[in-house]
Amino acid sequence: MPRAPRNHSKTYKVPRRAYTSARLDAELKLAGEYGLRNKREIYRIALILSKIRRAARELLKLDAKDPKRLFEGNALIRRLVRIGVLDETRMRLDYVLALKIEDFLERRLQTQVFKLGLAKSIHHARVLIRQRHIRVGKQIVNVPSFVVRLDSQKVRFLTGLVLFSAAALRFSLRLGCRGLSLCCRCCAPSPAFPSCRCHLLLSLSSALPWLPLCCARCARFHSLPHGTD
């Protein structure tokens, strides 16, 4: 059986000058703002952006009514609009040349999870994605660099997943305050110390109904079944 051909071309290109103060500061700012793992992710997007801008420049050299410019230019613009980099008010090749790396970084799944308020920080968003707690539409995605299209904008938690294990919850209860009586939602919670971390777990369980909650009165472990919305 013949093997499928592999693409051995490089997915990123390092800068020609390794040590440039302005570029190093800009890359460090992007890596911190968007929670990137390394600078290779910036170089990968920079290579994609350079190919798109090169194609736009070649098309702009042609006549405005040239069939090749009309066909390939519209296809390029529709592709950028579909991934959310361009909007419908900027559907021209001139705006393609004005694109920046930040426009593509904004469409990453990691950035979208943080902007939607599903994570406390941009780094927490990466952890949630890698631990398979995030889904796009009906598909679980564990790739932080996944490009979220406009037609698949629905990004949400995979409900029913246990983010806090029972052993970790019981250990935090024993370690946090030994005199705390923790009850389930059917019983009235009676925390001994309102400022305790266990009280925070109680308030968190009311906001997230799928959070496992161990009851001190009935000694049962309450949580919704997996995979429920």
How far is Cα of residue 118 from the mean position of the Cα atoms in its chain?
9
**Residue-wise pLDDT tens digits, 63-114:** 999 999 999 999 999 999 999 999 988 899 999 999 999 999 999 999 999 9
Residue pair 52/99 in contact (Cβ under 8 Å)? The answer is yes
Domains of the chain are 21-105 (no CATH), 109-157 (3.10.290.10), 166-222 (no CATH)
Judge whether residue 132 has pLDDT over 70.
yes
pLDDT on residue 229: 39
In the chain, the amino acid numbered 26 is: A
The pTM (predicted TM-score) of the whole model is 0.67
**Residue-wise pLDDT tens digits, 174-211:** 554 443 344 444 444 444 434 444 444 444 444 444 44
Mean pLDDT of 169-174: 54
Long-range Cβ contacts of 214-218 (<8 Å, 24+ apart): 214/166, 214/169, 214/170, 214/173, 214/182, 214/184, 215/182, 215/183, 215/184, 215/187, 216/181, 216/182, 216/183, 217/181, 217/183, 217/184, 217/187, 218/184, 218/187
Q: Output helix, strand, coil percentages for the chain, rounded to the nearest 5.
A: 45, 5, 50
pLDDT on residue 171: 53
Residue pair 96/52 in contact (Cβ under 8 Å)? The answer is yes
